[in-house]
Amino acid sequence: MLETVTQGFKNATERLRGVRALDEENISEALRDVRASLLEADVDFQVAKDFLAKVKERALGEKVSTRARDAQGRALKVTPGQHFVAICEQELAALMGPVDPKLRFQRGATSVMLVGLQGVGKTTCAAKVARRLQSQGKRPLLVAADVYRPAAVDQLVTLGAQIDVAVHRGGEGELPPSICRAARERAKREGFDAIVYDTAGRLAIDDDLMRELEEIVAAVEPANTLLVCDALMGRDAVNVARAFGERLALDGIVMTKLDGDARGGAALAVKAVTGVPIKFIGTGESVDRLEEFRPEGLASRILGMGDIVGLVQDFESVVDEKQAEEDA
């Protein structure tokens, strides 16, 4: 996952090995490696530029201590390069967050509407969301509202059977807004307390698709509207998120196939560009593979240097305690 970006940070860290202090020259050289890896990973240019500027500002502006002693008198030491790594991880997490991965519950049946282009994994994602709700004690109803892709309804029925979740399907020629409205009424009658709508996609964004989705929103008023994006789309994922966000009130993004892309820069840029947070990551085809998105966790995985960041955090806490004692 995001191996391209990981390598860029490793190269930057190597450049700073042995330096006695962070300065304009060595930071600029290190950030060139990071910049190249971000752009190669399909991170939006302006997002990459802003990120690098923040890292540089902090690296040059923060007073860096390299030696201290803890409460037991043990000597602690961190290098300027290790401080640089910690700054990068903190700024990466800030770039992708903050995020509240919880779904919004409502009185009656909690509803989740999944939207997105064709082929991004919406139908599988619908089953994953239903499985998640099921694990939280809910009794979900899946709704097959994609009437244009021949296999979509059958696929959802098969997935529903795997997790013991009922699937509502429309009658011959019934349109998606009507299907969703009927599903909501069925949920009331039969005691379902969660509804997951699997809507149709297109190969590209068009007005007919958006108008239909707007009609579904008007018909059922979903508590959560989640855009499903494919990390393999690269920068196009950001453009898709922006386009959907202009027509629909998106509550979050589900990023699929992030584990299958060495670049995956869309995950880094989409929140900064659109304002819409990634809530979940779908990894693999199993209906249990839906992870809450945690920016700090992904930032740590990208840098691959959790031991260094932990050391710097311990060091900074000791320095902060000593400063507090001196100020008291």
Q: How far apart are the first and last CA of the chain?
A: 46
Domain extent for 155: 110-293
**In this structure, are 219 and 286 located in the same domain?**
yes
Is 241 within the bounds of a domain?
yes
Per the omega criterion (within 30 degrees of 0), is the bond before 98 cis? yes
pTM here? 0.82
Q: Do 131 and 257 reside in the same domain of the chain?
A: yes
Q: Name the band, by pLDDT with cuts 50, 70 and 90, for residue 232.
A: confident
**Average pLDDT over the chain, rounded to whole?**
84
- For residue 105, being part of any structural domain is answered with no
CA distances from 255 to 233, 238, 298, 299, 319 (A): 11, 11, 13, 16, 39
> Looking at the structure, do residues 171 and 33 belong to the same domain, yes or no?
no
The reply to whether 195 and 77 lie within a common domain is no
Q: What is the pLDDT of residues 155-174, one digit of tens each?
A: 999 999 999 999 999 988 89
User: Does the residue 14 lie in any domain?
Assistant: yes
Structure confidence at residue 264 (pLDDT): 63
Q: Do residues 45 and 73 share a domain?
A: yes
Shared-domain flag, residues 275 and 173: yes
Which residues lie closer than 8 Å to 193 by C-beta, 6 or more apart?
108, 109, 110, 138, 139, 140, 187
Residue labelled with tokens 């490793």: 10
* Mean pLDDT within 145-153: 90
Residues 55 and 186 in one domain: no
Tell me if 103 is assigned to some domain: no
Contact yes or no for 200/176 (Cβ under 8 A): yes
Q: How far apart are CA 187 and CA 175, in angstroms?
A: 18
For residues 128 and 91, state if they share a domain.
no
- CATH for 41: 1.20.120.140
Q: How far apart are CA 101 and CA 153, in angstroms?
A: 28
Q: Are 298 and 267 in contact (CB under 8 A)?
A: yes
Q: What is the mean pLDDT of residues 233-262?
A: 83
> Are residues 182 and 69 both part of a single domain?
no
Residues 71 and 131 in one domain: no
On whether both 153 and 218 belong to a single domain, the answer is yes
What CATH code is carried by the domain that includes residue 260? Answer: 3.40.50.300
Name the domain count of the chain: 2
Q: pLDDT at residue 319 above 50? A: no
Tokens of 267: 């995950």
Would you say residue 147 lies in a domain? yes
Which H or E run contains 161?
Answer: helix 152-162
Q: Is residue 104 part of a domain?
A: no
85-121 burial, b at 16+ Cβ within 10 Å, e below that, comes to: bbbbbbbbbbbbbebeeebebeeebbbbbbbbbeebb
Q: Are residues 116 and 208 in the same domain?
A: yes
- Closest listed residue to residue 114, CA positions, set 104, 102, 123: 123
- Flag whether 180 is in a domain: yes
Q: Is the pLDDT of residue 146 over 50?
A: yes
Chain segment 68-101, per-residue pLDDT in tens: 444 444 445 668 888 888 899 889 989 988 888 8
